[in-house]
Amino acid sequence: MVLRTRRRLVVNPGSIGQPRDGDPRAAYAIISDGEPELRRVAYDVEGTIGELEAMKLSPPVFAQLAEVLRTGGSAPEQRS
């Protein structure tokens, strides 16, 4: 998201690990000469899920987090 107001530039590129827009890639922004550019890059989602699994989370919590990471979307019970 890029929002320009009269005196401010607000940039929120998204996240790494908790996407909610259907794109599981890591999101970031580069601002050069005052102009924002939103970018995406793939990362090791399955490796991240493996690290979560090693944390011994409860099965429902683990399943929810893994689904969000793999699909880049909201958790199943949050979908409309």
Q: Is residue 76 part of a domain?
A: no
Q: Is residue 80 part of a domain?
A: no
- What are 12-64's pLDDT values in tens digits? 988 777 878 889 999 999 999 989 999 999 999 999 999 999 999 999 999 99
Domain encompassing residue 33 = 2-71
Going by C-beta distance under 8 Å and a sequence separation of 6 or more, which residues neighbour residue 65?
Answer: 49, 52, 57
Closest CA to 48 of 78, 70, 20, 73: 70
Number of domains composing the chain: 1
Q: Is residue 65 part of a domain?
A: yes
* Contact status, residue 45 vs residue 70, Cβ threshold 8 Å: yes
pTM: 0.71
Q: Is residue 40 part of a domain?
A: yes
Residue 79 pLDDT greater than 70, yes or no:
no
